[in-house]
Every structure is written in structure tokens, then in C-alpha cells.
Structure 1
Amino acid sequence: MKERPILFNSEMVQAILSGRKTQTRRIIKLDHERGFQNPVVRGRAGEVSSVEFGLSHMLCPLGQPGDQLWVRETWQGPLVDYDEAYSMFKDPKPYQKVENCVYRADGGPCPEFTDADDDLRQGWRPSIHMPRWASRINLLITGVRVERLNDISQEDAKSEGCCYGRGGGVPDLAVSPADHFPTLWESIYGIKSWAANPWVWVIEFERVAPAGEQP
């Protein structure tokens, strides 16, 4: 089993925590876009044929069924009492625990903290900078496949965390999850990214407890 990080914004973290999100789609980076030719044919689980690309085979870079992902999200930490700050700056390792962190997806206020210069600051850390110890969400990959982005089904849109409406917590039965998904996609990848209809990895997953912990 391999373990790799994956980024999710706060809205998608909320959907994972609520159990609504069990799929994610990521744009496929074609070998010819990386400057490679004649990719090596591999015979591993999760391998997918991609004749449409003029390539032999491709392997999902985020993993295969049985591998795990750990989620990077917007966060801050470790946060400790002022009296403990000096000890933490001398040796941060004992304080590097999930319980000493706060996460933007939980909806709390932007945290205050004292920096190494004893200055009071306020702010979040970007998800890209989250280390492994601060991640609170582990995902087990249960399936990997390839499809065109615009081919998403109604059920898969629900599995992406979409619901009736355009997001923002405002329900609208006239806007189905499949109608909502393009709005969600463009909020992440930009205007016209839906119309581009790229090939994507469809990664199915379930949330699991970190090693050594009970679910």
C-alpha cells in the first residue's frame, strides 16, 4: 500500500466529513504534455487503457485501489497556550498533533497565535503547506477509472458532494446535482474549464481511521 497527499478546498472537506463526498475527479496530465513519448506498458491493478490519447497505458498518479490518500486542507497549528509557546519553539515535535490544530472547514474564526518573535498574529495556513502530522482525514481508494469530465452522471455528481442547488447551502430542486457540478468545477479550475471537457481520473474512496486508531 502506498500513501499520497491530496488537496481539497474547505467546501469539499465539509462534504467528506459529512459523508456526502466519496469521489473526486482530477485532470489527466497526458504523457505528450510532459514531453514524453512511447510510455511504458505496465501490468498493475488500476491500469487503464487510453487508446483515445494515442497512448498505450496510463497509471493514475494518485494511486490505485488499496492505496491511501491523506487530505491537505486549510489549517493552522500547532496552537498552544502562551505559557507553552517557548517550549514549543524549542522542540515543536511533541506539539505536532491534530488536536493542537484548527481547520477552516470547521467554520470557526480565523485563529490567533504567537509567532517565534513573540508577536501576535492571525491567519490560516494554505493547504499546500500542510504536513502529514496535521492531516486529520485518511481516504482509502476503492476504485479508479477514466472518463470525459462532461460524462458525469447524476449519481456520480452526488458522490462528488453536490446537491440540489448551486451551492452555498441554498437548495433548489430545479438545479440537480449534475447541474451543480459544472459550477463547482469552474469554481476550482476556472471559467471555461468545464467546456474544455478534459479526460479525468475518477477516484472513488471511503474515509478510514488513521493507522492505530479506531474508526
Structure 2
Amino acid sequence: MKERGMIFNGEMVRAILDGRKTQTRRVMKVQPKQSETRPGDFWFSSNKLKSMVHVSDLIPGNSPITDYHLFLQEHCCPFGSVGDRIWVRETFRVMGCATDVARLMYKASERNSFTESTRTVPVATCTKQPLHKWTPSIHMPRWASRILLEITAVRVERLNAVTEDDARAEGVSTAMWFAGKGVPEDEWENLAYTDQIKASHTNKFATLWESIYGEKSWQANPWVWVIEFRRVEATDEQ
């Protein structure tokens, strides 16, 4: 079992804590290339493998590989395989240090109660001085992380292949329209009234995606790693 850090924004941290988020999608750094000999099909490879695997062979029942899921996890996914763990990187700060403990505050929970938004770690573990400024998630050390996730499934798919159930599992609410499609916000209510569109988790997820990855990133429809997980509770560690 390996542990790796992964950055989540405040909205997604809250969704994990609420139990609403059990999936995350991350863009594959090396995108599959379209096959020149088999139009419509794509190839992808990993840094750990010199050979390439055909995407169409990664469909259950088509694969010459005994367990294509295991193949993906062990040889390709940089975020880990089933059973590996992800510790959440989020924005935090060290509030202060007492004789033997340091208290940390997490920005995603700062509007919650003091107990919910803070935790303590041994002073000997804390390597940062108390600051009024927030430490960005990318600079969070392992000892400061309060959320641990266990990977339960890994797969590869196109971003736009996300289903409504999967979008809900991404931890988002619903939206009447995907903002990236260019419909003015003042027209959303009218469109809904005439039943031209309906609220969906997919619309909200698409809008969130573009807020993170930039305009037209949804239409680009990249190949993504789909990582399913469960939160590891303190009782699981005992």
C-alpha cells in the first residue's frame, strides 16, 4: 500500500467531509493518440511500459489481458491502485503552539465550529511557525493533512462520458445550465420554465471543471483518470 498527496479545492474538501464526494477525475498527462491504422480508436501508454495498449481492448470482455483493471492500476495510473491511499492537500495555517501541541485551522471549514475547523498535532511534528497567512494546498505537508482516502476503483474514460450518477459522486450540486455553453445567466430561468433544459449534476460539474482547467476545457473532452474512493475513518486505523 502506498500513500500519495492530492490537491482538492475548498468546495471539494467540504463535499468529501459531507460524504457527497466519492470520485475525482484528473487529466491524463500523456493523452492517448488516435490510431492511424484503426480510425476512431486510440492508443495510450505509460512511462512504466514501452508497449502501448489499445483503448478498445480495455473494455471488459474484449481485453486480451486477464484483468485490465489491474493492468491500469499497477502500470499506468500515477495516483495509485486499488487499496492505495490518498491524503488530501488543502489550504491551512498553524494557529499557535502550546507546550506539546500545535493547532491547525483549515480554510475549507473556517465557517464551521472551532472543533470542526481545527485539529492538533504534536509540536515535535509541526515544522511550520504560527502564521496569519494561509498556506496553499500545494505546500501542505503530510503531517498537516486531516483527510485520508482509500482508492476503491480506477478506470480511464473521456471527460464527457461522465454520467449523471458519476457527476453526483463528484460532490457537486445541480445547475440549470452549463455556463460554458454561453447562455446568459438571465436567460437560464426562462429556459427552465419552457422545459428546454433541466437541472443536472453534469451541468454543475462541467462548470466546475472549466473554473479549474479554463475556458473550453470541457469541450476539449480529454482522457481522464477516474478514481473512486472512500474516506478512511479513525476507526479503520485501529
Please confirm whether the aligned pair reaches a TM-score higher than 0.5, indicating the same fold: yes
Q: Which residue of 2 is the match for residue 13 of structure 1?
A: 13
Query: How far apart are 1:108 and its partner, in Å?
Result: 3.4
Distance 1:122 1:59, change over 3 A: same
Q: Which residue of 1 is the match for residue 62 of structure 2?
A: none
Identity over the aligned pairs, expressed in percent?
A: 48
Query: In 2, distance between residues paired with 1:185 and 1:32?
Result: 20
Query: How far apart are 1:35 and its partner, in Å?
Result: 11
Q: Which residue of 2 is the match for residue 184 of structure 1?
A: 208
Q: Is the 8 A contact 1:45 1:65 kept in 2?
A: no
Distance 1:130 1:59, change over 3 A: same
Would you say 1:161 and 2:171 are equivalent positions?
yes
* Residue of structure 2 aligned with 1:135, choices 145, 159, 168: 145
- Give secondary structure in 1 for the equivalent of 2:204: helix
Aligned length: 181
Query: How far apart are 1:38 and its partner, in Å?
Result: 6.5
Which structure 2 residues correspond to residues 73-84 of structure 1 after superposition, within 5 A? 73-77=90-94, 79-80=95-96, 84=98
Query: How far apart are 1:107 and its partner, in Å?
Result: 3.2
Query: How far apart are 1:209 and its partner, in Å?
Result: 2.3
Counterpart amino acid of 2:140? M
C-alpha distance after superposition, 1:92-121 (max 9, x if no partner): xx535xxx1110110339xxxxxxxx9x96
Distance 1:4 1:44, change over 3 A: farther
Q: Is the 8 A contact 1:73 1:127 kept in 2?
A: yes
Q: Is the 8 A contact 2:32 2:223 kept in 1?
A: no
- Give secondary structure in 1 for the equivalent of 2:96: coil
Query: How far apart are 1:190 and its partner, in Å?
Result: 1.0
Q: Is the 8 A contact 2:148 2:232 kept in 1?
A: yes
Query: In 2, distance between residues paired with 1:44 and 1:181?
Result: 28
C-alpha distance after superposition, 1:31-90 (max 9, x if no partner): 8999979725799963239xxxxxxx951000000100000001111x226xx4xx7xxx
Q: Structure 1: which 5+ runs fail to align?
A: 50-56, 88-93, 110-117
Query: In 1, distance between residues paired with 2:16 and 2:205?
Result: 16
Query: In 2, distance between residues paired with 1:105 and 1:132?
Result: 17
Q: Is the 8 A contact 1:75 1:127 kept in 2?
A: yes
Q: Which residue of 2 is the match for residue 54 of structure 1?
A: none
Question: TM-score, normalized by length of structure 1?
Answer: 0.71
Would you say 1:106 and 2:123 are equivalent positions?
no
